[in-house]
Amino acid sequence: EAQVTQNPRYLITVTGKKLTVTCSQNMNHEYMSWYRQDPGLGLRQIYYSMNVEVTDKGDVPEGYKVSRKEKRNFPLILESPSPNQTSLYFCASSLKTRTFYNEQFFGPGTRLTVL
């Protein structure tokens, strides 16, 4: 089944404790992205990657890191989480073609709480 998976789905942690949220897709998509969704603010892009070893900042990259060493994986790293990073996180992927009408496929989301 074609899908985007994220782990963990739920995480409660404490301020300053490094964590990684994994994202993996099995559709051979070049493009991957991370979003956070907060009440009243909608979905905001954190980082995106056009291909292996190519990453770039989205709208809200502060406090986050990413890497793209393999095509299928795009982990999100919080080196020192803070309470303002409590949010619902989505990973997404899509093909990279010459059209701008590429559907983005989202993972199921990771609900993170930082105490």
Per the CB < 8 A criterion, the answer to whether 106 and 29 are in contact is no
Per the CB < 8 A criterion, the answer to whether 15 and 112 are in contact is no
Residue numbers 96-115 binding other proteins by CB under 8 A: 96-104, 106-109
Size of the site for other proteins (CB under 8 A): 28
Q: How far is the CB of 107 from other proteins (least distance, A)?
A: 6
Binding segment for other proteins among 11-19, 33-41, 61-69, 76-84 (CB under 8 A)?
Answer: 33-41
State how far the Cα of 83 lies from the Cα of 105, in Å rounded to an integer.
28
Per CB under 8 A, 28 contacts other proteins: no
Q: Would you state the structure tokens that stand for residue 50, as one six-digit string?
A: 């056009």
